[in-house]
Amino acid sequence: MEIFWVIVALVGVALIAAAIIIARSNRQLPPAPGPEAIEGPEPAEAPEPASKPPAEAEPKAETEVEPEPSVPAVDVPEAPKSRFARLRRRLASSNNALARALGSLLSVDRIDEETWDDFEATLISSDLGVGPTTELTEALRKELSIDGVSDPGRAREVLRSELLRLVDPSMDRSLKLDSPEGQPAVVMVVGVNGTGKTTTVGKLARVLVAEDKTVLLGAADTFRAAAAEQLATWGERVGVETVRGDEGADPASVAFDAVAKGSEIGVDVVLVDTAGRLHTKVGLMDELGKVKRVIEKKAPVGEVLLVLDATTGQNGMTQARIFAEVVDVTGIVLTKLDGSAKGGIVVQVQRELGVPVKLIGLGEGVDDLAPFDPEGFVAGILGE
Ligand code: GDP
């Protein structure tokens, strides 16, 4: 019996010891290697994006965005005085047929009749016109000996002064912007579509704004769908309002409304863009004549500026003659003198119409319209 109790006690002790060992080993076991353990590195990577710049960048972006609304809403156009000097080089690159003619005249060993004929032909091809070409050739012939070049420097000086005389620095090229008390000055801009008329009105608004004038635009070219929109965009850039009618509206009534509004709000100048459909001379005369007459019920038209594309040469001259017959042109705007134009047209158009070139367009940039400067022009076409 005693042995029985001893065995029972030993088994009991063994059971208790086993239970203790199992309990202990359970507590010490490392976590079972399972999927969680394999994916373990992820949580280590996860903080990385969390610590990336966005959290920092965001507050920065907020502070950078804020000042933007204070950026001025309108452009500050370039002062007209500095424009010609800036743009003069564009004349040299395109219009130096006259300089080329002189260069080839001075480079020959012996100037004979054939040389003079070539010289004259080059001058005519530069759109100078026959009369001015003859005058210029005669003046130069006097300066150069029949046996050859007497003094190239002197010849260049003669060409410069003769050209200047032909361009006529004595002409009054200022815009007539004086108007009766309480009325705006009115400038009508006419010309065939495609010559750069609407662009010129937009650029001219900038010239006037740069001279501290208040301006209103009248979009009386109601035939070309995009013209009014184009004009309004030009105006907006310099804080100038545009009066426009519906597409196909009567141009005269839009022009009248513009001038009436200009009087009402007291602007200095109203610029009126017109349609330039050269369908028939009679049609054109009726249209432009009517626009002018209707405007003048409100305020006198001080300037009628004719826009001509200088690259069109003799075609441009034909347009000039027709417009001059149907409306009283007071000034010429020659556009695209930066292109393939030959500068001689300045002389020819002034001679034929007896009206000065007042402004020239020398590029597609917003401030590439400049008051015409005879000395700068001559220097430009001589490539100086
Ligand atoms: P409109 O139909 O007479 O009103 O002509 P736009 O004003 O629409 O101009 C016709 C095109 O001539 C446009 O592409 C203008 O940018 C361009 N243009 C106008 N003036 C000048 C200029 O002086 N130089 C050059 N290179 N392009 C010009």
| Angle (CA) 233 261 71, round 5° | 35
CB 244 within 8 A of CB 219: yes
Give the Å distances, CA to CA, from 61 to 49, 50, 56, 71, 267.
19, 18, 9, 17, 42
Distance 244 CA to ligand 1 centre (A): 20
Distance 361 CA to ligand 1 centre (A): 9
Closest to 277 in 3D by CA, of 190, 186, 188: 190
pLDDT of residue 93: 61
Question: Is 362 touching ligand 1 by the criterion CB < 6 Å?
Answer: yes
Question: Is 194 touching ligand 1 by the criterion CB < 6 Å?
Answer: yes
Q: Which atom of ligand 1 is nearest to the CA of 201?
A: 7
Q: Which of 83, 188, 199, 206 has most ligand 1 atoms within 8 Å of its beta carbon, as the pocket-test mutant? A: 199
Taking the CB of residue 223, how many other CB atoms lie within 10 A of it? 16
Please give the model's pTM, rounded to 2 decimal places.
Answer: 0.80
Question: Is 222 touching ligand 1 by the criterion CB < 6 Å?
Answer: no
**Ligand 1: which residue has its CA nearest to atom 15?**
196
Question: Is 364 touching ligand 1 by the criterion CB < 6 Å?
Answer: yes
Residue 120 to residue 133: CA distance in whole angstroms: 6
DSSP state of 188: E
- Sequential pLDDT tens for the chain (384 residues): 566 565 666 565 565 655 555 545 444 433 333 333 323 333 333 333 333 333 333 334 444 555 555 555 789 999 999 999 888 888 876 556 666 777 777 777 777 888 889 888 888 888 888 999 999 999 888 877 655 556 777 778 888 898 999 999 999 999 999 999 999 999 999 999 899 999 999 999 999 999 999 999 999 998 887 999 999 999 999 999 999 998 788 999 999 999 999 999 999 999 999 988 766 777 877 889 999 999 999 999 999 999 999 999 889 999 999 999 889 999 999 999 987 778 889 999 999 999 999 999 999 999 999 999 999 999 888 877
Question: Is 203 touching ligand 1 by the criterion CB < 6 Å?
Answer: no
Question: Is 94 touching ligand 1 by the criterion CB < 6 Å?
Answer: no
Q: Are strands 331-335 and 215-220 parallel, antiparallel or unpaired?
A: unpaired
Question: Is 319 touching ligand 1 by the criterion CB < 6 Å?
Answer: no
Edge-first strand listing for the sheet containing 269-274: 241-244, 215-220, 269-274, 185-190, 301-309, 331-335, 357-361, 369-371
CB 343 within 8 A of CB 98: yes
Q: Which of 200, 364, 366, 372 has most ligand 1 atoms within 8 Å of its beta carbon, as the pocket-test mutant? A: 364
Detail the DSSP E strand segments found in the chain: 185-190, 215-220, 241-244, 269-274, 301-309, 331-335, 357-361, 369-371
Question: Is 287 touching ligand 1 by the criterion CB < 6 Å?
Answer: no
Question: Is 339 touching ligand 1 by the criterion CB < 6 Å?
Answer: yes
Closest to 243 in 3D by CA, of 214, 217, 265: 217
Q: Which of 335, 346, 367 has most ligand 1 atoms within 8 Å of its beta carbon, as the pocket-test mutant? A: 335
**Ligand 1: which residue has its CA nearest to atom 26?**
363
